[in-house]
Structure formats: C-alpha cells, structure tokens
C-alpha cells in the first residue's frame, strides 16, 4: 500500500468525522467527489444534500456528537475513469448526547461500518460511493456531567477553535 494514498484516504475519513461533529458542512463534503452517491437510508443522496440535512438534524436533536473511526482496511479495487480505485471498510463508533428534556440526558451509541469506494480525480482522493451499515445501536441514560471548568467545543453557529 502506497503510504501517500493511505494518508489521503485516512485524512478524508477523519475530516468527514470532524465535519459531522462540528456541524461543518464543507468538511463533510470535502471527503467526497461532487458526484458521489451516499446510501444512509432507503434512498441515495448527494454529499451536499446529506451534509445540509445531517448538520440541521444533529443540531436539533443532540447537544454533542463524537464519531470515531478504526479498523480501516484499504484494498485495491481496479480503476475508475482511468485512475486507481480502492474499496475501504471503516468501523465507526458514534456517540450522540440527547439533551435533558425532563427525563434526563441520554446517550445514543451507534456502531457500524462505512463501505466506501475511493478514487483519485484531478489529484485528489475522495469518496465516490458510500454505504453505511449498522452493526448495533443502544440508548442509555447519562448521569450528571463531570465537575470542572472546561472549554467547550463549538458546533454549527458557535465556532470551534479548530477553525480559528
């Protein structure tokens, strides 16, 4: 495996996760090629449409999310429009904090996998096709937050220091 390709693919995956957690649509879209097809449910969608929908939905439903990736397996898968194509399987562990609306906070945990096709176009590696698979999920009560004086992460309209 070429280390430069592996690095470009891994960086795209991590940029996507940061974009989802910070509600930064441009980071989400940056992981994909403009004509990418995403399958997160019954109907395929585009990266831009998904990014706008997911940012609004996560902002409305959760006070915080963390998407963690691991077990990234990158395998050659032929060519696409004259360039190399790779099939990439990535494990995803995502936490979603539901605000207290009278019954206490909850933690939604999602474990699954991204099955991506990565291709290089115009010198940039990006996802051309994504399928999200669910392995399991859970919903658990959350106790009180830890004490302490922490700087808080930004999301959406509240800028995060990573972008400043």
pLDDT tens digits for range 53-65: 999 999 999 999 9
Note the Cα 153 to chain centre separation in Å: 17
Whether 147 shows a pLDDT value over 90: the answer reads no
- Count CA within 13 A, CB hemisphere, residue 103: 5
Residue with tokens 């106790």: 143
Whether 164 shows a pLDDT value over 80: the answer reads no
Whether 159 shows a pLDDT value over 90: the answer reads no
Lowest mean pLDDT among 4-8, 40-44, 158-162: 158-162
**Portion of the chain with pLDDT greater than 70, in percent:** 98
List the beta bridge partners of residue 43.
none
Mean pLDDT of 148-163: 88
DSSP state of 10: H
| Integer Cα distance of 80 and 72 in angstroms | 21
Q: What mean pLDDT is reported for the chain?
A: 94
């Amino acid at each position: 495996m070429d280390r430069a390709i592996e690095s470009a693919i891994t960086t795209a995956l991590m940029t996507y996760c940061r974009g989802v957690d910070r509600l930064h649509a441009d980071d989400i879209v940056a992981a994909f090629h403009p004509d990418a097809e995403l399958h997160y449910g019954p109907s395929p969608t585009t990266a831009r449409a998904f990014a706008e929908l997911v940012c609004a939905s996560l902002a409305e439903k959760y006070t915080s999310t963390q998407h963690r990736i691991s077990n990234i397996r990158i395998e050659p898968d032929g060519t696409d429009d004259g360039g190399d194509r790779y099939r990439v399987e990535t494990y995803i562990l995502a936490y979603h904090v539901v605000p207290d609306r009278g019954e206490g906070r909850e933690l939604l945990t999602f474990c699954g996998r991204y099955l991506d096709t990565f291709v290089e176009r115009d010198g940039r590696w990006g996802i051309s096709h994504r399928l999200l698979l669910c392995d399991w999920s859970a919903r658990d009560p959350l106790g009180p937050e830890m004490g302490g004086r922490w700087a808080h992460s930004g999301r959406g309209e509240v800028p995060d220091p990573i972008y400043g």
